[in-house]
Amino acid sequence: MERLQKVIANSGYTSRRKAEDLIVEGKVKVNGIIVKELGTKVTNKDVVEVNGKAISKVEKVYYVLYKPEGYVSTTNDELGRRQVTDLVPDYIRVYPVGRLDYDTSGVLLLTNDGDFANTMAGPAHDIEKEYRVKMKGFLRKEESQKLCRGIKIDNYVTKKAYIKNVEYNKDNETSIATIIISEGKYHQVKKMFEAVGHPVLKLKRERYGCVDLKGMSVGQHRLLKPHELKQLRLQAK
């Protein structure tokens, strides 16, 4: 027997966390009966329905997408904006691992493996994320050092970061830098640079763990290679 939320996640319908929300909201039935208890366990003989549709196990897939700007990293947007899932085949239902902002581009993982998505996006796992940032003003050495040591944003202090390849454009008074972090808080990179007086103008995630954008064009996706998948799982332990 397996927990209901895990069965839903393994079907590729959504992540385990979202599956828990669906259960609590009364949108899940087991053998025709609405179930709201998160501890509920089911067997292969039980019929599980989500939003009125029976689920079944599907082959697990793992994509990396070169997300363009102007797409939301959700599978449902109230404003009707374009979704990242529009850029991958629609015959297999996948969802993003974590999020990139609407105006942010770069590496985004998508999968129908709820356990994998939950593990990768979990706050306890220090998977490196590398961003290329364009910002207002000239980033000074002492400001970089503050960011690298950890800086207070909202009600927490960020973990240590690493900044490299800083460039300056005197004509439009902007800076470009690469920052490597191991967290994924809401709007974290933008808030970090704003905290030292440099609003972000453009943001691109160039690497997620061992996965980067080499050989990819904007809007393109590919399957994760076996060694990438293995390495990500090792990094998340």
DSSP line for 131-185: EEEEEES---HHHHHHHHH--EETTEEPPP-EEEEEEEETTTTEEEEEEEES---
First vs last C-alpha separation in the chain: 25
176, 166 in Cβ contact below 8 A?
yes
Q: Is 101 a catalytic residue?
A: yes
CA distance 59 to 74: 21
Q: Which of 21, 46, 90, 101 is catalytic?
A: 101
User: In what helix (H) or strand (E) does residue 204 lie, and over which residues does it extend?
Assistant: strand 200-208
- Cα angle at 108 between 105 and 110, to 5 degrees? 145
Residue with tokens 């905290």: 195
Could you give the CA distance from residue 206 to residue 106 in angstroms, rounded to a whole number?
6
| CA-based torsion, 133, 135, 137, 140: positive or negative | negative
Catalytic residues: 101
